[in-house]
């Protein structure tokens, strides 16, 4: 586990463009929606909630497995939309907090202009 940590880069996030923040929030929303959709679909397949699973899309009303498939598709989209709304509401408070706490340190694998420059240098050598 310690060997994996050594491969991570660290950076301090002091400012983020609203478009990048929105992408982050929408991606997190879709990921959470996918988790919830898969959970609901699995519950329906296990017949724990097959009678109660119902989905309506306009004038179409479905129950059971077809409803679960519709839920599996639309819940991630719904949470992605909530991610858009959340990002618009929370962007300015987030920027305020980043200024007050002098940034957030993130660890991970990052690719940006520096990585592209290093990649070009290493290919030429």
Which tokens is 105 given?
């340190």
For the segment 38-45, the average pLDDT, to the nearest whole number, is 83
Q: What is the pTM of this model?
A: 0.72
Given a contact cutoff of 8 angstroms between Cβ atoms, the answer to whether 104 and 13 are in contact is yes
Whether residue 115 is predicted with pLDDT greater than 80 in this model: the reply is no
Whether residue 93 is predicted with pLDDT greater than 70 in this model: the reply is yes
Percent of the chain having pLDDT more than 90? 44
For the segment 82-86, the average pLDDT, to the nearest whole number, is 96
19 to 22, 28, 84: CA distances (angstroms): 5, 14, 10
């Amino acid at each position: 586990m310690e060997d994996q940590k050594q491969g991570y880069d660290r950076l301090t996030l002091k400012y983020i463009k609203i478009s990048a923040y929105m992408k982050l929030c929408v991606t997190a929303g879709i990921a959470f929606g996918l988790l919830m959709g898969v959970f609901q679909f699995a519950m329906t397949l296990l017949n724990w909630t097959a009678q109660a699973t119902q989905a309506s899309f306009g004038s179409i009303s479905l129950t059971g497995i077809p409803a679960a498939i519709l839920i599996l598709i639309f819940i991630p989209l719904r949470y992605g939309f909530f991610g858009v709304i959340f990002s618009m509401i929370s962007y300015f408070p987030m920027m305020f907090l980043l200024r007050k706490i002098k940034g957030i340190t993130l660890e991970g694998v990052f690719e940006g202009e520096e990585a592209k420059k290093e990649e070009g240098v290493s290919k030429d050598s």
